[in-house]
């Protein structure tokens, strides 16, 4: 089942027009995405592709259960304030924040999660997270827990 879900997700991430790989349980798909890129343009493209995957699954009658985690340099884009983001990246970072809010409202994204570990070294305060993003003590442990619940681990 995990291989089929990973294959379906990778096809979607590659920009395919439709996910055509059958899944073991055709009624639902559990996907956990691990976002770590520090380029806000890349993060926007990643979120757009995750959203496209969500929509394609719904169109096929499959209920998606999606978790998006942020770690490393991507941590800058889960903050309420754009102050920690390089000035040249702020417009694109604002688009990331907007996409997170849009996806959270759209449904089927169960959680956006920020790993606490990279925050201190980047001088980011856990209290400054967007309200749509949940702080987790350790992103790897959270992702391992999702895998144990049947989620496919996807590194875009």
* Sheet strands side by side (includes 28-35): 133-136, 109-115, 63-70, 28-35, 152-154
Instruction: Render each residue's pLDDT in the chain as its tens digit; 156 residues.
Output: 444 444 444 444 444 433 444 456 579 999 999 999 999 999 999 999 999 999 999 999 999 999 999 999 999 999 999 999 999 999 999 999 999 999 999 999 999 999 999 999 999 999 999 999 999 999 999 999 999 999 999 999
**Paired residues of 6 in beta bridges:** none
Which pTM was predicted?
0.82
Query: Cβ(66)–Cβ(31) under 8 Å?
Result: yes
**Paired residues of 113 in beta bridges:** 69, 134
Q: What pLDDT sits at residue 44?
A: 98
What domains does the chain contain, in order, with CATH numbers? 2-8+30-57+64-154 (3.40.1260.10)
Q: What pLDDT sits at residue 26?
A: 79
């Amino acid at each position: 089942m995990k291989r089929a879900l990973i294959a379906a997700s990778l096809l979607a991430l590659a920009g395919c027009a439709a996910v055509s790989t059958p899944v073991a349980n055709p009624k639902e798909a559990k996907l956990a995405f691990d976002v770590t890129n520090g380029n806000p343009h890349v993060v926007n493209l990643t979120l757009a592709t995750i959203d496209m995957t969500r929509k394609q699954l719904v169109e096929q009658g499959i209920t998606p259960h999606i978790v998006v985690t942020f770690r490393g340099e991507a941590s800058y884009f889960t903050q309420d304030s754009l102050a920690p983001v390089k000035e040249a990246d702020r417009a694109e970072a604002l688009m990331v924040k907007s996409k997170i809010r849009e996806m959270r409202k759209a449904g089927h994204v169960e959680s956006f999660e920020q790993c606490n570990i990279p925050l201190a070294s980047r001088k980011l305060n856990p209290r400054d997270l967007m309200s749509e993003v949940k702080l987790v003590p350790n992103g790897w442990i959270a992702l391992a827990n999702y895998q144990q619940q049947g989620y496919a681990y996807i590194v875009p």
